[in-house]
Amino acid sequence: MIRPQPGQAVGELALSRPSEGGLTPSEHPEADGRPGANAHDRRTRTGGHVTKVSVGPTRALPAIADRTGCGACRDGRPIFPFTMAFQPIVDLQDGRIDAHEALVRGPGGEGAGHVLDQVRPENTYAFDQACRVKAIELAARLGLDRQLSINFLPNAVYEPRACIQTTLEAAARTGFPLDRLTFEILESETIADIGHLVNIVAEYRKHGFKIALDDFATGYSGLARMAELRPDIVKIDRLLVKDCDADRHRLAIIAGMVQIGAELGIKVVVEGVERLEEVQALRSVGTRFIQGFYFAKPSFERITLDADIPWPVRPNDGAHPA
């Protein structure tokens, strides 16, 4: 069994960009009046500077894992209340929503920070498990009929086969198809042991789950990691996308990624798109999948419908989605 290294921070997450303009709720603490974040992403506005925040104190994880690892996820210990919002990823080619990303919220709609502030080293494992169960149960109850994308902390997976059990049980209980589950790897997290990550991905693939590399182009989420993990999906971070309509360097890099994705059969999702001009520029280089406030903000305990999306319209035909 591969265990986290002594001294490795539990869930130390890079706060890697300014919060304005972000696409996943994490980058938009104030934009919709409720701070958002990836399920485990803890980012704060820091004047645009890179900041790191630890979910818990840096201490030897093995001791924590021995005490609260596999057993703690399944012993019924109550965890603080939280729920989910869902933000769509749109498919411009087919003019439909392709997937919904589950994002943690407080029970009264409080932002992700409210939830993440309650995560401690001793409940990190249970929280990770609870996030998956909550996302699946709520998605099933709301009738989500697309891909469901769930953020997870690789460091909160103790032993892949054991940690997946509650996920499998939640899917079976609710009738949610396993091949409609995507797990987004937060690459801003410090992952000391790439072998552990590869084992997780291999185990998840056996069950038909899709693997997405989140926040691509920032922190640890780069081309080398992409080559190692061979994800099904790569999500290009807002940091690279912002104002791509006016920056040929950014647009050329995105265009290159779209080409690589086409060659390798990897779905390339562009995150953080906020303006029509960005959408148009991205379309011009073949971008098909987009997530961002331009199309939809996260919906609290609700699934955005295709009809809710402001599909861009091609010039001259006025009828079909871009």
The site for Ca ion (CB under 5 A) is made up of: 38, 151, 184, 214
Smallest distance, Ca ion to C-beta of residue 11, A: 15
Instruction: Report the distance separating Cα 157 and Cα 220, nearest Å.
Output: 18
The smaller minimum CB distance to Ca ion, of residues 95 and 190, is found at 190
- Closest contact distance (angstroms) between CB of 152 and Ca ion is 10
Question: By the 8 A CB rule, do 23 and 291 touch?
Answer: yes
Q: Coil, strand or helix: which one is 258?
A: helix
Q: What angle do CA 292, 84, 151 make, to 5 degrees?
A: 65
| Residue closer to Ca ion, measured from CB, 238 or 250 | 238
DSSP reduced 3-state for 321: strand
Instruction: Please state, in angstroms and rounded to a whole number, the distance separating the CA atoms of residues 158 and 170.
Output: 19
Nearer to Ca ion, 245 or 289 (CB): 289
Q: How far is the CB of 168 from Ca ion (least distance, A)?
A: 22
Cβ distance to Ca ion smaller for residue 27 or 184 = 184
Q: Give the separation between CA 74 and CA 234, rounded to whole angstroms.
A: 31
Beta carbon of residue 278, minimum distance to Ca ion (angstroms, whole number): 19
* Type of residue numbered 255: A
Pick 38 or 304: Cβ nearer Ca ion: 38
In angstroms, give the least distance from the CB of 66 to Ca ion: 30
Residue where the block lists tokens 């080619």: 93
Strand residue runs (E) in 75-190: 83-91, 96-105, 147-152, 181-186
